[in-house]
Each structure stands twice: as structure tokens, then as C-alpha cells.
Structure 1
Amino acid sequence: MSALIMESVSAPAVATSEALWGGVGIGSMFVGGLYVLGNRRLVACHWNRDHPQVIMDRIRAVFITCVVVACLLSWLFLQRGVVTRVATRLLQSSTTHQPASELDALLAIFGLHWLAPARRMLMATTWPLLHTMLLFLGPLVVRWQDYRERMANYDADEHPSYGHTHRWRIRLRNYVVGPLSEEFVFRACLGALFAQTALSTTSIVFLSSWLFGLAHVHHAWEMYAKTRTQKNALRIALARTGFQLAYCTVFGSYVMLLFLRTGHLIGPILSHAFCNIMGLPDCSRLRTADGRWDIGMLTVHLLGVLLFIMTASTLLDASLYHSIYWH
């Protein structure tokens, strides 16, 4: 059972069916807002999601969605007594024994513990990110090698200024707005909603990750609309989207687990941004130029996976964070 329900002898604050329909509605609002508030611009820009105007329209759309969803869930949690229950839990875990206000409790429900002790906040910020980085130990070494090679061959005259390009908007979307909005909606909001039901932690992780993965299926239509004149455009779009669905579902499970175990949103946000920066590992780097396995690089990649598994129980120990979602 989820932690908030286990500590209460009363019935769940939200029925499972209510939460499931609410989760579907929240996911639909997030994706629908991208098109309702910017579809005309997207079509005019030939389905180019990287067009500057499309990016800014969608940033505004997800901001509006986040505000609306937060307001609706805040009202629900106030009406169902969830805020009072969380305020009691915060008082029990407080080092100062100061009662928490309704605002403090609401923020805590969404993983925004602005009154948490500095040491706990530091752990919630750094340790989940460190755990994620361990999984990418191999790709990080590859990045470091590439950087050293670029610096050794760098020629300033061959690299014009990028000040007049729109690259910063793409980075803003991928590394800032995307992680912030998606983690707030699909982790903080869905996690908080599902935790008020009789769903088990495993079910919460599974259902929320599937909703997160399905929220990316719309990219198939965008990809097909952009390349529909090419041969096998639909097949390619579906194949890429299927892979993205699987990847996002697995990733969504991991970051939801981060959120539930720590009770903080900052860790999932930073981990999401880091994964977006790193991208998928380049498996071709595991072999040398003559096609043989690179034993050193293979060892580093496997070491990262091993450390990721071995440190999970330590770096993600819920008792360190006093998570309201884990008991």
C-alpha cells in the first residue's frame, strides 16, 4: 500500500477509478494543450517541432497545463482531507516540532519541501542525480574522451558564433522546461493523486510510467506528417515511436521511484535533465576501429551498471529523506 494510505485507518481519500480517470485526463490535458494552443503554428511551420515559434507556443502551453492541474489537485486534496493528513505527518517528522501550514503541506504533496532541513534538501538534490550518473558512467567517459579530442583539434576560426541561432530555445525546451513540466505533471501530480488510493507502490509506478510513455505517442503523428511524402514514412514513424514508448515507460518507472522514495521533486527533475543531455548510449563505442571489443570501455560501462544496482538501497534509502510516500 502507498505510505499515505497505510498510515490512515480511514478509507482512501480517492477511489482508484477516480484516480485512473484523473490520470488519463491529466495526461490528455498535457498533450492536448500542445496542439490546442499551437497546432496552427505547427502546421504553418511544416510540422517542425524545433521551429522557434512552435517551441515558445508549447512552453506557454505546458505552463498553463501545469497551473491548471496543480489548482485542480490542490482543491481535491483540500476537500478530501489529504492536506490535513500530510500536515500531521510533517509535524511528526519535523526537527523543530513546528506545525505545518496548509501551504507547507500542499507543497510537500507535490514534492516541494521548501522548509526541509538543508542537509535533507542537499541529499534530495544530489544523491538521486549521482545514482543516475552512475548508470551513465560509460557514456560519461566517452563524452570526456570526445571533449579532449575536440579541444586538442580546436580551431577558433573554424567555429563561427552561434549567437544568432535559435539553438538556445531547443536547449531551453529539452533541458529546462521539458524536465520541469513533465516531472511536475507525471511524477508530482500523478504520484500524489495515485498515492491517495488503495493502489500499491508497484501499481503507482507501473500506471504512471505507462501514462508517461503514452503521452509521447503523439510524436508518431508529427513525424509522419513531416515525412509523409517519403517511402515507408508511416512504418518508420511507428517504429521510432514504439521504441520511444518503451524507453519513456522504463525511464518513467525509474524517476517515479525516485519521487516516491525521496518525496522530493528536485531529484527527478535533475535526473531527467541529465538523461536528456546524455541521450542514448552510443553502443558503437564499445568496439575498436577494427571491430574488436574494447575491453576497457566495456568494463567501464558494466561497472557503471553494477554501481547503479549496488548503490540503489543506499543512495535512495527512503528513511534518509522522510518521504511521505514511502513507509
Structure 2
Amino acid sequence: MQLLFAQPLITTSSAHLVSLGLCAAYVGSLYLSKNARIKFSHGHAKGSLNGPNGYDERGRDHPDVIRARLVAVSIATVLCCLGVFGVIFYHIGADWKNLGIATKATALRLGLHLSFSSSTIDVLPHLVVPFLFFGPLFASYLGGQLPGQRYWTWQRNVAERFFGIMGLRTYWVGPITEEIVFRACVLSVYHLSGASRYRMIFLGPLTFGLAHVHHAWETFNRYGRNVAAAKRAIFSSIFQFAYTTLFGFLASFLFLRTGSIFPPITAHIFCNTIGVPELTWELRRYPKQKKAIIIAYLIGIAGFVYTLLPWTKTNDNFYWAQDGDPRHSSAKY
């Protein structure tokens, strides 16, 4: 039996249920453990949930909560991968002789391999997103904040930022586990149902956006549990849902286009590092370089559009078979 199958293994309805189950498993893991749950005191109007403010409260940035959640999402990610394996193993025949096939088929669909070109690791797919952020990078250059510049230090900008407890969550465990679950696992399940690549790109990331909505509860509690706090929680959740979904479109494209989970992971880490572009603030901070900043943003957008397809083209990728590939006209799942 081959690692690719001639017919879809599951129905679209089953794919929806499995993807929602994967999302629920990941987000639910944040609340199963007592140590991972956030805690609010009654009567608290407003303030930090993580510092010595006189209240027995623990927000999502509390070190103990972060540590517990890192363990929780790591376990959940492994279970989600096993869930995809279970779907494949069950539908090709739950027989021990098919164990090796199911394992290899799962690893293939999860993109747990580096992409290669001419016997070297292909770095171009990892550079597409940094190109898009050429404008913010130029603004950082103006502020002397890039490596080697006057306001950049190894201790503050690397050691403390990336290897402290919050850095482990924001730049390592978070991006890696989220991409494996919400990109590799969710999209592989939809692919097993015969979903088109366009449906996977534009519908699959909705679960990723929904997975961030639960932060609204902490926002509501942090800012006073009143009407103003509710409005703040709603608007912040809408904004977070919007930009995480938009990023999900791009990350899904990178995953399907390359057949590897690593370009989405590096893109996620890079975006978390740079943050949401703040063009208006940058223009106010550097008024003498307004034209240069705008040009840098336009260069980044144009470069991103120009490089997106050629730099992400990957041979022997069943998710996105190229013209001339015999699989291009014959779907495999």
C-alpha cells in the first residue's frame, strides 16, 4: 500500500469534527491542570494579574502558569499528532502490518521533514515573510535596534528575550506547537477528506483564530468585569481573531506549498519577534524619514508578492503538485 491513497479516507463532516476536536484538545489543555488555569480575585477592579499587587491572582503571564501551560500544550500537540495517526491507521485497516505505513503516511502529511533543493536545505521559503516585513525592519534600523547597532545587546535582545520563561512560550513552544496542531494536523485531516487547497488555505485557519478567543475572559477580568471591560475584551478578541486568521492564511499557504511544517514555524517565530507593524507610530517617531519608511514598506510588499510563488515552489510535494508532475492531474490523498 502506498503512502498516498486514491480516494479520500474521511468525509468532509468528519474532517470538521476532527479539526474542532484538535482545536479543543489544544485549548482545553490550558485549563485541565490546576496550575495552568488563570485565577482572579473577587472585587478586584483593575491591575496586573502577575505582580505583587496584593491580590491572589495569576494571569497568563504568571511564571507558574506559563510553565504549566508549556507542558500542557506540548502533551496536547503529541496527542493531536497521534490523533492524525489514528485516523489514518483506522481507515487503512487497523492491522499491525499497516503500522509502518500509517506512521510514514502521518509523518509525510505533517510535514515533519526539511525541504531540500539540489542536495542542500532550501532556505528561500523561510525568507518570504521576512521580506514582507522589510518596512518594520527598516524602522528598527533607524532606531538602532538591529544586531550590531548601538541599542542592541546580546543579553537583552537575545538571552533575556528568547530564553526567559516568557520567551520560551512566545518564540519557541507556542509557535512550534501551534503550527504543528493548527497547520500540520488540521490541514492534513482536511486533505484526507479531499478538500481543495483553496478551501484548506481559507477555511482551515478559522480554527486557529477561534483558538485565541478564550483570551477575552482574562481581559474581561483584568479590566474590571464591567461594561467597559466587556467592550475591551470583545474588541481585542475581534482584532486578535482577525490577525491570527490572516496569518493562518499565509502559514497554511506556506505549509501546503512546501509540504513542510518548518517554513510556517519560522514565519510564526519571526512574526512574534517583529510584532504587528506600526506604520503610523514609526512615521511619527521618524518624521524626517517618512518617505523612506513608506518606500521600505512598499518594497517589502512588492518583494513578498514577487517571491511568494517562486521561493516556495517545492518539488515532489503532493500537497501542491506542480505542472508536469503526474500527480497534478490525478488527485492523491
Higher helix content, 1 or 2:
1
Deviation of 1:198 after TM superposition, in Å, equals 2.6
Alpha-carbon contact 1:19-1:197 (below 8 Å) kept: yes
Deviation of 1:314 after TM superposition, in Å, equals 0.7
Residue 323 of structure 1 corresponds to 317
Runs of 5+ in structure 1 lacking a partner?
88-99
Runs of 5+ in structure 2 lacking a partner?
41-55, 322-333
Q: Provide the C-alpha distance between the structure 2 equivalents of 1:165 and 1:250, rounded to a whole number of angstroms.
A: 25
Alpha-carbon contact 1:41-1:53 (below 8 Å) kept: no
Alpha-carbon contact 1:135-1:308 (below 8 Å) kept: yes
What pairs with 1:1-327 in structure 2 (closer than 5 Å)? 9-10=6-7, 12-38=8-34, 41-43=37-39, 46-81=57-92, 103-113=103-113, 119=118, 122-123=121-122, 126-147=123-144, 152=150, 168-229=164-225, 232-288=228-284, 294-317=290-313, 320-327=314-321
Classify 1:239/1:75 alpha carbon distance in 2 versus 1 (closer, same or farther; 3 Å): same
**Structure 2 residue matching 1:49: 3-state secondary structure:** coil
State the percentage of identical aligned residues: 30
Alpha-carbon contact 2:255-2:264 (below 8 Å) kept: yes
Classify 1:270/1:119 alpha carbon distance in 2 versus 1 (closer, same or farther; 3 Å): farther
Which has the bigger relative contact order, CA under 8 A and spacing at least 6? 1
Q: Provide the C-alpha distance between the structure 2 equivalents of 1:137 and 1:253, rounded to a whole number of angstroms.
A: 20
Residue 97 of structure 1 corresponds to none
Classify 1:321/1:49 alpha carbon distance in 2 versus 1 (closer, same or farther; 3 Å): farther
Q: Which amino acid aligns with 1:187?
A: R
Classify 1:296/1:8 alpha carbon distance in 2 versus 1 (closer, same or farther; 3 Å): same
Alpha-carbon contact 2:35-2:68 (below 8 Å) kept: no
Q: Provide the C-alpha distance between the structure 2 equivalents of 1:120 and 1:203, rounded to a whole number of angstroms.
A: 33
Alpha-carbon contact 1:55-1:173 (below 8 Å) kept: yes
Relative to the length of structure 2, the TM-score reads 0.79
> CA offsets, 1:55-114, max 9 Å, x none?
01101110111121111211221222399xxx9xxxxxxxxxxxx965443311210126
Deviation of 1:141 after TM superposition, in Å, equals 1.2
What is the RMSD computed on CA atoms of the aligned residues?
A: 3.4
